[in-house]
Structure 1
Amino acid sequence: MTGTYMPESPNNTTFREQLNLAQHAAMEADKSMLSFGLGISDPKAIFGTTANLAESFGSHRVFDMPTSENAMTGIGIGAAIAGSRVLMTHQRMDFFLLAMDQLVNNAAKWHYMFNGQMKVPLTIRLIVGRGWGQGPTHAQNLQSWFAHVPGLKVVVPSKTDAVASQLYSAIMDDNPVIFIEHRWLHEQQCGSTSVLPLQSPHESVRVHRQGADCTIVANSFMVLEALIAADFLQHRGINVEVVETVSLEQSEWQKIYDSVEKTGRLLVCDSAHGHFSVASEVVSSVTEQCFKALTEAPRRLCLPPYPEPTSYYLTKPFYRNANDIVAAVAEMMGVKVAGGIELDVSTPHDVPGNWFKGPF
């Protein structure tokens, strides 16, 4: 595959490189597959995630689209129904809302309405995130919207070691899949002893850390914050279990229930607003399944119930971080935890690092 990115070492790689690798592999595996979206062949290649796709597979299979979310989504759904495997990328989840009718009333319903005889092999990458004063209409994570719709699968990756296999599995699924990426994850190094093979079985729930005192459930960027908090708490005698919800499908959450049965406590860290949220569903499901095991009421750590401010200073308390997780766990445990995590102050709080050069 000419131009395909292949890391020298699979363990010395980034989140975006693994996303790129999965797309190249899927395009090679299915010769009829199409990949398109806003900026897919631009020089920046959507944070580098689509680099060399057009060069490798030609402009007839990989191409940019006019700025018309509703139209391009309709084309993608139609192509998928007609038999082409389709990967479509939207750089902003917020802008994709223009295409909700196409997604909910066509893509999600087609398989059901035709008694399982029709397939819709469509994957939609939606990128979320924050920073640079993006404000109320540029930084929303509306994952619970999509998870609410029967017929849609929702995948929310967080770790570099598995993201390639998760995207590859989503693309190869014959059902519509919403793949939600947080752009602060794109430069995340592997940080693992191994990268999962592309065709690994898809894990809906991943347990990243074992513990007996409290279960922390998170996804997306909040998994990283939870793991930082877990390290801090361990050195103070509190062992938390960190569980990731990769797939937002309640029927596949047995590992969450098993964890709560062991710990008796639950803290859900959501990167979206708390009301009517994925966090709400996790708490509700755990309460239904594990009520007798709970030693106290489950808690949620989410965004407050108002839009993101544009102001640099107002965004600082808006988002939760590892220190907030530490404080919540300590309160649940009824203990005092001395000190706090020393956060990196070399970059502003609304950017993930010096590599982050802008919102797009």
Structure 2
Amino acid sequence: MSRIEDVAKKAGVSIATVSRVINNSGNVSEKTKMKVWKAIKELNYKPKILASALARHKEKFYVGICKSNRLIKMEKEKTSPEFYSVILEALEEVGKTYGIKFEKMDIQKPEKCDGYILVGGDSTKEIINFYRELEKPFLLLDHYIPGEKIDCIVTNGYDGAYFVTNYLIKKGFKKIYHIHGPLYSYGFKSRFEGYRNAMEDANLIPRFFEYDDVNDNMSEVINSIDIPEAIFASNDITAMRIIRELRKRNIRVPEDVSVIGFDDILSAKDFDPPLTTLKVFKDEMGSLAAKRIYELLVGHDVHPILISLFTKFIKRKSSI
């Protein structure tokens, strides 16, 4: 079995340099890194990637779960989405294996912690700058702000929306509407852009309308539109609300209008009719967030990354 000494000898560097490359610490040139990784591969050396990090490992880390203002408002009004409950459950369970204890707190007034996870789609640049000044590791969960090099865990909404819009087009539909949430949210905006580009690529006219689930203006939205052949909603809660409003008007789903959601929340498959949707891997988002904040806490691979998970199309009975 190869040892770190063998890697150092083959690469022509010191053991300390090999250790710095493996643990991504210290200043090592790209050329030297390539030599070390090549030696590791050729010798089939199995490095303990977090060896130096674990040497600095505390018995327990305290990390703040800071929910966005929109999520806090929804919780107060008892309309907190199922989407985040699954993410946070996975986050906390996986965090236990890394010795992380999570504490829920006000995003505007965080308590003293080793790091922070900002949850929700409406964190602003001002909030990001505030957390930067705390000089503690933090990441965005279910949000991304272009131009801000911050660790983010998101869903690839663009790809999912583009796929499902194309699916409807291939079914022969031309009059496809998109009902979306507020576009300051990265998730809603990326889904909107995927829908719009798929429609334009097919030489069809995109038509879209905004629904605010906090203020619940769905009845107004449905009243303001000509009923289309299909509706793609930016999340499952919106899709279910659309179906209820269509039923009030004696419009059948999917016989008259196909409806597709996004997220695949727990209640989607039990809805009447069971909801066609795009599955977001919520448990994996939570798991990846726990692993990533741990890496940041111990100083491993600290350059900011954007992790974007693809969705999976789930065909049920709300669409043709």
Between structures 1 and 2, the one with greater helix share: 2
Same fold (TM over 0.5): no
Greater RCO between the two (CA within 8 Å, min separation 6)? 2
Larger Rg computed on CA atoms: 2
Could you state the TM-score of these two structures normalised by the residue count of structure 2? 0.32
